[in-house]
Structure formats: C-alpha cells, structure tokens
C-alpha cells in the first residue's frame, strides 16, 4: 500500500534524529485539498513536489511557518538549546494557493520531541495529500490522508492518530493549546489504502477553532506533523444533490432540476455540467447557479445528453460536494413533452411535440394530431409555440375507456402525410371519491370511510388519505392546503377504507382528500371539510322501558338522554308486536326535554318490543344506533270488558218439578279479559232467595238446581283488577219456556263445512234480545254446540264440520228479557236427505237447460228444411220459361210406370 510504504520508509529503524515542531504557529486548513511536504535541508533526493515549486528548500518562503529541527543522538533525549541544530523544512501547498509556507530558524514557544530514522528521512522527507471537511449533518469532522511517495520500501505495522482540541469558549484569536489538552482519535485505513480520521464536533462549537496534528507510529517510532487549525463551519462538505432529472418546457428548452440534499444553515451554490451530442452538433457546458434548476438550450430530437451536479456553500468558504450520479438520456426522433399525462375528469391538458423526419425537423405548422389513429383532432385545438414546437389542447376531458389491455388514449403527432409509430399516452380517471366521517358518542375519536369502487383503478397507483387541521371550523369552500399530513387507513371486508382520528379537536376543521400517487404524477379527489362536532353519532338512549299503562291502556315508552353530546336531541321510537320479524311502526319526538311517549296500540294483551334512537335537533350528525329492545309484560290493565257468553243444558225431572241446569261458557279472549281471567263467579237471583254468588274458579261449566218459577243467572269474569262490568244475563222461567214465536225453521247444507238455517217468527209482546242456535248429532250424547245470534237476523250460516252420514238436530231458542222461550227443533240431515235435496235442486237446474236445448234444436230443423227445399226445386224447370213444361201440373200425382 502506497500510504503504508511511505510511513514505513519514514520510520525505518536506524540512527535517530530529534524532530522539534514549533506550536506557536498553526497552518489554517483550506476548504480544498492541500499537500504537506517535509524534507531535510539541501535534499537532492527526487521527492514529489508540485510543478513550479523549487526542490531547494532555501528558496521557499511564505506567510505561515513551521519548523522542524533535528539533532543526532542515539539516546533520544530532549535539548533546550537549538542554536547548533540542523533544520528540517515543511511546506503546505495547494492548487488554489501556490505560495509554500515554510520556516527554518529561531523557533520560539513550546516544542514536542519525537524520534525518526535520520537516514531514511534525510533521503526522502515526507509527501502527503490531505483534505479535511465537515459532513453535511454538521456532527462529524473528517480528515483524509493519502501518500504521494513513489519509493517502495518494506512494510511495517503502521498506526496513524489525529490529536485535536476544541476550546471551551469562543475566542477571536485563540492561542495554541497546551500539549496535555489534546484528545486522540485513531485513523483507519480505508478500502482506498489511505487513512481517514473522524472527529465528533458539537453543534454549538461549529464556529470554534479546532487545533490538530497528525501522529504516525510504526515499530515504536513516532513522527508528528506541524500544527494545523480550522473552523469546522468553514469546511462543510454537502452531500451530492438528489433527484437529478430533466424536463422539456413548453417552449422546447431543456430544464435540468435537482433537490438540495438536506437543510443546511446556509444557502448552496451549484455547479452543473452537461453535454449534448447530436448528428449535427456537439457541445459541453459548465455553469454555476444558486437555484436548484438550470434552463439549458433547445432540445434536439435524436440527441444524447449527460448531466451532473455538485454543490458548495454560496457565501463563505466551503467544500464542493461529490458529483451526483450522471444522468444520461437520449431523445427520440419524435419528442412528446410530456410523453404521458395523468389527469382527472374535467381537466384541460396539453401535449407538445417536436417532429424530426429524415434528419430534418418538421415545421410546427405542418404538424397534425390524431387520437388513437382513428379520430383526427380539430385544428382549432392546435397552437404553434415555435418554429418546431406544436401544441394540442384537450378541454374538459372525459374518463378514459379501457380498450382491452390499454387503459389510456394514444395521442399521435404526425407530419402532414405520415405518422410516426411513437405516441403520447393520456390517462384520465374519475377521482370523485366520497369521504364520510362519524364522531363516536363519547366524542373521543372520528372515523372516516371511503371507497374506490366508483373510480377506475390504475395499475401501479397507490391511494393515500391526506388531511389538514385548521384551528377552528371549516371554510365555506374547502380547498387543498399547502401543508398536509398522511393518514393511515385500513381496508375493511366491505371494500371500504377506514381511517381513525384520535384524539380529535371537536371544533377544528379537518380538510381531507384522497391522493392517487402514480409514477406519472399524483391526483387528488375533491376535498371535503369536516368538523367533528357536526358529525357526531350519539350513544343510544339508555334506560329504555316499555309498559302497557294500567287503566289507561296505552303503550308507554320511556328513556334517558345520553351523556354526550350536550346538544338538544330529537328522538325516534319504533315499536311493534314482538316476534321473529317485527313489523315496526315509527313515532317521532321533537321535544328535546321529553323522556317518554304514550302510544295507542290495538292489542293490549300481547308483548310489544320498543327501541329508541336519537339525533341532534338541528339536523347535524347522524342517528344513533337503536337502543337495546325493551319488552312489555302481559298483565291485567283493566277489568274484563265483559263477562263470558253462556248457555245451558237442562236435565229435567218431571216428577219433582225441578231441573238440573248446567251452565256452559267459553273462555274469554284476551281482548275481552284485559288481559287474563283468574276465576269466574256465577251470580244467582231469585224472587224467594234473593241474590247470592258462587265462585267456580277457572272452570267453564257449572251446574245448579232450578226450583223456582224464575231464576236469573249472571256469569262474571274476575281478573287482578276486578270483575267484568258488562255481563250477560239469562233468566230461566217456567212460564216463558212455553212462549213460542218461532213458527218455522229450515236447514240446508251447502257443503260438509257450511249449513244455512232460516226461520220465520210470529209477533210477540215480549222483548226479544237474541237467539241461541243449538245443534248436535241426533241420538248421541255428544256435547252440544251453540251460537248467539242477533234478534234481527232471519238467516244464518253455520260453519262446522258436518258428517254426511249423520243426522243432526237443530234448535232455535228465542231469548227474552223475561226468560228463555220455547225452541223450534228440526231433525236433519242424513246422507239420503242430502242426496235427495241435491237431486231436487239438480232438477230445477236441468229443466231450463232441456227447454233451451229443445228450442235451439227446433230452430235448426226449420233452417235446414228451407235450405233443402231450395236446393231440391232448383232442378225443376219453370213452366213459364220452358215450352215443353207449359200446361203441366207438377203438383198433381202422376203414374210414371
């Protein structure tokens, strides 16, 4: 290694020389690379010196001085008197400053003593390339050393250290530091076979003066360089510029752009070098600018370009950064700029074109434009930008319709008579994405949702929500602000993206939109602004209860107001009969102070389900979720509406003139019992024994002994509220049982499930209340069936299951206020009776049919007769027209044979 060979030669074991370096002077490190030459006096050895610098050290002079004196002795002791010691000269030199700084005599101040090989050092001296800089992050000071020695010597173990010191306070003219104040860092050999030393520098001391010198050690021998100094802020080396790219302006010029690497406390200047190589021209340009772009000359079709940029501090000293990676590109014979456009529906877009045909650029006036090679674009959309640049504009573009695998429209720039195969690509997509947001009932987070199902997806594109929070509320017309933040969103199973803002500022305006990122550019959906307070979805109302009010009989639903929000709320109630599929009815409550509502319902004795939800009264925000359902409990709310309808079955004992009466009644329905019956009570009233009651419990049959002339019975229904108010009375009277007003009763079966009964009445002085129709199968001791029929009815349909082979007994009882009258009883029907009646009824139907058929047949015969007569007499000659037939009587019978 070159660096190691030099230092090994310098530190080779031999006789020793004392090297004393004056530290009251220091060389100021320059922002550029410099060389350090150290050589003995009257050196004749061929050392590497820059051109124009004499090899005779007695001729060197300069402003900065550093002296090295040598004393030969094998003991390596320190001497205080240097008047007779020979002097070694060191020189600092660079391309920017060709004055060599050197010193030879009268060194004053404190000295450090080191030992070096006198023979080697007197022969070759030292020859180094050194550059120091401050990294762009302003945290690390780096020195880079490279040996320029040509001689090749034996390799030894070599160590290089840098010793430095930074003062504690900032001084305008700092003095050289004491020897013991220096700190030591080790320098490492890099892959380039040279050494790199790294010194950390606090940000607060970038303007301080840093003193340093190099210390080289090999095989126990040490060499020290002269003292050097620098202010780290003056040798900052930026990183190379980033994102180097080019574009063609509307006028056809090449624009070179780049980005500054990071934020620095000072402005940068940039050096740009680029070359252009075409079939007709070749040029190279090197320019220095302070902006991050450079407008070069006109771009030429069919040319190749190469561009590089580097940067340095604009005001004050600094180090040039490394060159950026070269940007190399070649233009085609037909140049579209831009070559591809991604835009949104409704936008206005333009393409520019430079057309080269057979090494000649076509005039912009001769260029025509086509869309997909199928539609010529009207010339009204053309613009001539320059002699060779043509422009076409598409106003208010529509969404691109995919054509197979092509998701773009091809725009062709053509000569008057031909089109090149190259084209520009136009991508137009609909970016109208709806964003809806909802603040939770606890006012702690806002959830926003959006879907991409309404837009055309572009291969290679990504979607990102961005937002900006204003301090208070939203503007009337939301717009995309200059600063924004990204928001992470997760894709849900329903295809929607969901983004959660937590915590939230309740009255701040959140302007949000969806950015569609693509290599062609980015698009943004129309922005929407949301104030979390305006999109609150309240918590469902708590403590919802439902009940049927006692005595009033209304469905009462009550609730509490949720804790949040504190705004006035409106409420919505839905209720219905409980079941698998509830048929809900809706009731609105706009009174924000109301906490209950009473609603009429048709059936008071069933279970109702009820739910409540709420929303801000001013209409902002959303309806809350429905509360958990509340259910009513079936219970008695009123006394039964009426007592049960009842009838009787009498077992008569003629010898004792007493009868056993069995009362029969049907259980009350829920609507009549409101809502249950706990027991029945039979109330008796006679003229002799007065009035008394008997509790029969839940039974629907009760037997008592009828012994008096008249016995009135009333059956009451009892629930938890009380006894029924409207009840049916039935009076059993011996005299009334002989009153007969039903003169006739007939029954006719329609089918096996329906029977028609009709009857006639005679006049009566008694008050007829209703009829009881009773029927049963004759000759069987089956339970009787009965119906209560209004007094005004003279015909009634009985719906029951009638067995055709059985014979039934029908009895019609007139019921008066005074008692039960004498019934009319008939016995019918057997199967024979039914068939007979059916046959009789069929006869009445058949007779008209037979008469009609006979009439139709007679008419047909008469018409047929007339037609036959006409047909027959057509062959008989008319005597008036035939001479031979005149005088003959065709109606007279004649013997032919």
Answer whether residue 570 shows pLDDT above 90.
yes
Q: What percent of the chain has pLDDT over 70?
A: 79
pLDDT (mean) for 528-554: 94
Task: Give the DSSP letter of residue 191.
Answer: T
Secondary structure (H, E, C), 835-853: HHHHHHHHHHHHHHHHHHH
Which pLDDT value is given to residue 884? 43
Angle at 169 between CA 164 and CA 170, to 5 degrees: 90
Answer whether residue 39 shows pLDDT above 80.
no
pLDDT digits (tens, 9 = 90+) for 56-93: 444 433 333 333 333 323 333 333 333 334 445 667 77
Which residues, at least 6 apart from 160, have a Cβ–Cβ distance to it below 8 Å?
Answer: 7, 145, 186, 187, 195, 197, 214, 215, 216, 217
Give residue for tokens 């309404």.
454
Which pLDDT value is given to residue 402? 83
pLDDT-based confidence at 350, cuts 50/70/90?
A: very high
Answer whether residue 370 shows pLDDT above 70.
yes
pLDDT (mean) for 756-779: 91
Answer whether residue 98 shows pLDDT above 50.
yes
pLDDT-based confidence at 441, cuts 50/70/90?
A: very high
Which pLDDT value is given to residue 88? 52
Which pLDDT value is given to residue 491? 92
Pairing state between β 710-718 and 87-93:
unpaired
Which pLDDT value is given to residue 407? 87
Pairing state between β 808-816 and 768-777:
antiparallel
Task: Write out the E strands in 607-657.
Answer: 608-616, 630-631, 646-653
pLDDT (mean) for 652-670: 81
Which pLDDT value is given to residue 797? 94
pLDDT digits (tens, 9 = 90+) for 809-854: 999 999 999 999 999 999 876 445 555 555 554 544 565 677 777 7
- Of residues 491 and 551, the one with the higher pLDDT is 491
Answer whether residue 455 shows pLDDT above 50.
yes
pLDDT digits (tens, 9 = 90+) for 601-644: 988 889 999 999 999 999 999 999 999 999 999 888 889 999 99
Which parts of 632-762 fold into alpha helices (H)?
Answer: 670-673
Q: How far is CA 652 from CA 98, 292, 655, 734, 820, in A?
A: 154, 125, 9, 12, 15
pLDDT-based confidence at 372, cuts 50/70/90?
A: very high
Which pLDDT value is given to residue 545? 96
Query: Does residue 397 contact residue 381 with C-beta atoms inside 8 Å?
Result: no
pLDDT digits (tens, 9 = 90+) for 378-430: 999 999 998 899 999 999 999 998 888 888 999 999 988 888 899 999 999 98
pLDDT-based confidence at 538, cuts 50/70/90?
A: very high
Give residue for tokens 């190589």.
277
pLDDT digits (tens, 9 = 90+) for 170-224: 777 677 777 678 888 988 877 666 788 999 999 888 888 889 888 877 666 677 7
- Of residues 626 and 318, the one with the higher pLDDT is 626
β-sheet bridge partners, residue 152: none
The mean predicted confidence, pLDDT, of the chain is: 81
Query: Does residue 723 contact residue 788 with C-beta atoms inside 8 Å?
Result: no
Q: How many CB atoms lie within 10 A of CB 321?
A: 22
Which pLDDT value is given to residue 659? 85
Which residues, at least 6 apart from 58, have a Cβ–Cβ distance to it below 8 Å?
Answer: 41, 42, 104
Which pLDDT value is given to residue 280? 67
pLDDT (mean) for 507-516: 95
Provide the token pair at 783. Answer: 């339970």
pTM across the whole model: 0.57
Answer whether residue 337 shows pLDDT above 90.
yes
pLDDT (mean) for 228-246: 90
């Amino acid at each position: 290694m070159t660096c190691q060979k030099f230092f090994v030669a310098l530190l080779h074991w031999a006789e020793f020389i004392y090297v004393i370096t004056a530290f009251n002077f220091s060389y100021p490190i320059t922002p550029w690379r410099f060389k350090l030459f150290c050589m003995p006096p009257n050196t004749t050895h061929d050392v590497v010196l820059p051109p124009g610098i004499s090899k005779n050290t007695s001729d060197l002079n300069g402003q900065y001085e550093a002296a090295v004196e040598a004393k030969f002795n094998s003991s390596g002791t320190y001497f205080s008197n240097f008047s007779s010691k020979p002097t070694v000269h060191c020189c600092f030199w660079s391309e920017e400053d060709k004055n060599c700084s050197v010193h030879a005599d009268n060194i004053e101040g404190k000295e450090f003593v080191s030992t070096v090989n006198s023979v080697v050092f007197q022969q070759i001296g030292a020859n180094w390339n050194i550059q120091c800089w401050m990294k762009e992050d302003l945290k690390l000071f780096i020195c880079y050393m490279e040996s320029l020695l040509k001689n090749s010597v034996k390799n030894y173990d070599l160590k290089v250290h840098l010793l430095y010191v930074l003062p504690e306070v900032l001084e305008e003219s700092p003095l050289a530091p004491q020897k013991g104040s220096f700190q030591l860092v080790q320098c490492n050999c890099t892959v380039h076979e040279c050494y790199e030393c790294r010194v950390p520098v606090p940000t607060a001391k970038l303007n301080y003066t840093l003193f340093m010198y190099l210390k080289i050690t090999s095989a126990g021998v040490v060499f020290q360089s002269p003292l050097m100094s620098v202010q780290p802020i003056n040798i900052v080396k930026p990183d190379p510029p980033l994102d180097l790219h080019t574009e063609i302006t509307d006028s056809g010029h090449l624009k070179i752009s780049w980005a500054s690497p990071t934020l620095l406390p000072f402005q940068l200047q940039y050096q740009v070098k680029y070359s252009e190589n075409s079939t007709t021209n070749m040029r190279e340009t090197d320019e220095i600018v302070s902006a991050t772009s450079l407008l070069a000359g006109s771009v030429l079709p069919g040319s190749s370009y190469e561009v590089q940029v580097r940067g340095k501090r604009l005001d004050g000293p600094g180090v040039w950064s490394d060159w950026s990676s070269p940007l190399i590109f070649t233009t085609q014979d037909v140049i579209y700029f831009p070559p591809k456009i991604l835009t949104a529906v409704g936008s206005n877009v333009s393409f520019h074109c430079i057309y080269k045909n057979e090494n000649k650029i076509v005039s912009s006036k001769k260029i025509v434009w086509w869309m997909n090679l199928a539609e010529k674009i009207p010339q009204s959309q053309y613009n001539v930008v320059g002699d060779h640049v043509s422009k076409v504009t598409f106003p208010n573009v529509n969404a691109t319709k995919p054509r197979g695998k092509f998701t773009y429209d091809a725009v062709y720039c053509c000569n008057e008579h031909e089109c090149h195969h190259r084209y520009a690509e136009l991508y137009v997509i609909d970016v109208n994405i709806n964003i809806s947001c909802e603040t939770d009932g606890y006012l702690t987070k806002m959830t926003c949702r959006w879907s991409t199902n309404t837009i055309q997806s572009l291969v290679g594109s990504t979607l990102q929500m961005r937002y900006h929070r204003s301090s208070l509320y939203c503007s009337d017309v939301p717009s995309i602000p200059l600063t924004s933040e990204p928001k992470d969103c997760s894709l849900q199973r329903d295809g929607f993206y969901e983004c959660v803002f937590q915590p939230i500022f309740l009255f701040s305006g959140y302007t949000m939109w969806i950015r569609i990122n693509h290599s062609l550019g980015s698009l943004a959906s129309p922005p929407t602004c949301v104030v979390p307070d305006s999109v609150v979805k309240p918590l469902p109302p708590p403590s919802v209860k439902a009940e049927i009010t006692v005595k009033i009989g209304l469905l009462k639903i009550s609730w509490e107001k949720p804790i949040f929000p504190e705004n006035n709320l409106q409420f919505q109630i839905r209720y219905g009969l409980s079941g698998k599929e509830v048929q809900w009815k809706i009731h609105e409550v706009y009174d924000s102070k109301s906490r209950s509502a009473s609603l009429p319902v048709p059936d008071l004795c069933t279970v109702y389900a009820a739910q409540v939800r709420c929303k801000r009264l001013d209409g902002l925000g959303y309806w809350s979720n429905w509360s958990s359902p509340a259910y009513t409990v079936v219970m008695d709310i009123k006394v039964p509406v009426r007592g049960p309808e009842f009838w009787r079955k009498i077992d008569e004992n003629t010898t004792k003139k007493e009868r056993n009466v069995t009362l029969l009644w049907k259980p009350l329905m829920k609507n009549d019992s409101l809502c249950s019956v706990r027991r029945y009570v039979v109330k008796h009233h006679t003229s002799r024994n007065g009035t008394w009651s008997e509790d029969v419990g839940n039974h629907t049959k009760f037997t008592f002994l009828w012994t008096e002339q008249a016995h009135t019975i009333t059956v009451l229904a009892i629930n938890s509220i009380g006894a029924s108010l409207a009840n049916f009375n039935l009076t059993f009277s011996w005299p009334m049982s002989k009153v007969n007003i039903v003169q006739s009763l007939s029954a006719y079966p329609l089918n096996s499930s329906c029977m028609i009964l009709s009857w006639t009445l005679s006049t009566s002085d008694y008050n007829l209340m209703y009829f009881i129709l009773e029927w049963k199968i004759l000759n069987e001791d089956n339970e009787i069936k009965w119906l209560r029929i209004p007094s005004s009815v003279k015909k009634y349909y009985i719906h029951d299951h009638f067995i055709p082979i059985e014979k039934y007994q029908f009895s019609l009882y007139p019921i008066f206020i005074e008692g039960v009258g004498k019934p009319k009883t008939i016995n019918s029907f057997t199967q024979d009776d039914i068939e007979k009646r059916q046959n009789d009824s069929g006869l009445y139907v058949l007779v008209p049919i037979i008469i009609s058929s006979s009439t139709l047949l007679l008419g047909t015969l008469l018409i047929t007769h007339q037609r036959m007569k006409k047909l027959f007499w057509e062959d008989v000659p008319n005597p008036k027209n035939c001479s031979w037939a005149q005088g003959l009587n065709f109606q007279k019978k004649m013997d032919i044979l």
